[in-house]
Amino acid sequence: MSNYLVTGAAGFIGARTSEMLLAQGHTVTGIDNMNNAYDPRMKEYRLRKLEAIPGFTFVRGDIAERSVIQHSTLNLQPFDGVINLAARAGVRYSVEDPWIFIDSNLTGTLNMLEVARNSGNCKFILASTSSIYGSNPPYPTPESASSSEVLQPYAASKKGAEVLAHSYHHLYGIDTTILRFFTVYGPAGRPDLAIFRFVQWILEGRPVRINGDGNQSRGFTYIDDIARGIIAALKPVGYEVINLGGHEVITINDLVTLIEDITAKKATVEHGPPNPADMFTNWADVSKAREMLGWSPEYDMRRGTEKLVEWYLAERSWAKDVLTP
């Protein structure tokens, strides 16, 4: 069995990936600064579940701080892989405070590459984003599409992290897989993303706020499919960029209709102006993930949304109060 470092371990993707690694018998050291980028109750909930699983060690720390490289827990024994999922995410917020995105997404990646180097140049996985493809890529979007015309500092910080990871691969031979995520959803998901907000708002009888006319679309992927893809990406590849998820596209209006159907509740929709930082659509070409990683999604949009609604209803006593700005 192997020993992994997972950054952003209390985050949505990091927590589920850690759970799956632990279920396979691996040991996981998780690091997270438990910031308030969204309602901290979500991270606290995920972390409580992780800390109950044997083989998990938690470090409360910020990967953007250079001192984390020398943290005693991160130097107890070499890691077989560093899975860097910690990040400041959110295209709109990055316009308001780009500095914090550079700190976490770029400087944080640099520090974790140093941790990988100190672990004998172990495997390195970097979470990147579909936002890197800008406003007018081909659809479905292959990894070869241009990533030089980003629309916001969030995507720019991820592009910088990708290039930095390549430099460490070139200089030190660190085997690196860049995973470009699209829109990930599921139980205990990020409350700042549309699908969690819509479920809460519809079930609690609150207005459903949509930016624009709702004809914009996103390529969604269920959390378990993403976590399986991350673990598959631990294989040696040299240096590769791989789209993960984003294969099932649905408009925002149709997403509201789907949740209405699953919950048997009618939404009260309020439309606002579109946000210029948002892409109109994303849709991934995942053929490379299928070929290189043997990855194939198991959940379709309806089944995954049903799982999210089931989770919400089970945790409704506190989930109804989670902030969904």
Q: Which residues are catalytic?
A: 154
3-class secondary structure, 306: helix
Cβ–Cβ contacts within 10 Å for residue 103, how many?
17
Amino acid at 300: D
As given in the structure block, the two tokens for residue 221 are 């992927």
Are 322 and 311 in contact by the 8 Å Cβ rule? The answer is no
d(CA 215, CA 201): 19
| Per-residue DSSP letter, 205 | T
Are 148 and 135 in contact by the 8 Å Cβ rule? The answer is no
For 272, phi and psi rounded to 5 degrees? -120, -175
d(CA 80, CA 156): 29
Cβ–Cβ contacts within 10 Å for residue 272, how many?
9
d(CA 263, CA 266): 8
| Per-residue DSSP letter, 248 | E
As given in the structure block, the two tokens for residue 90 are 């959110």
Cis peptide before 140 (omega within 30 of 0): yes
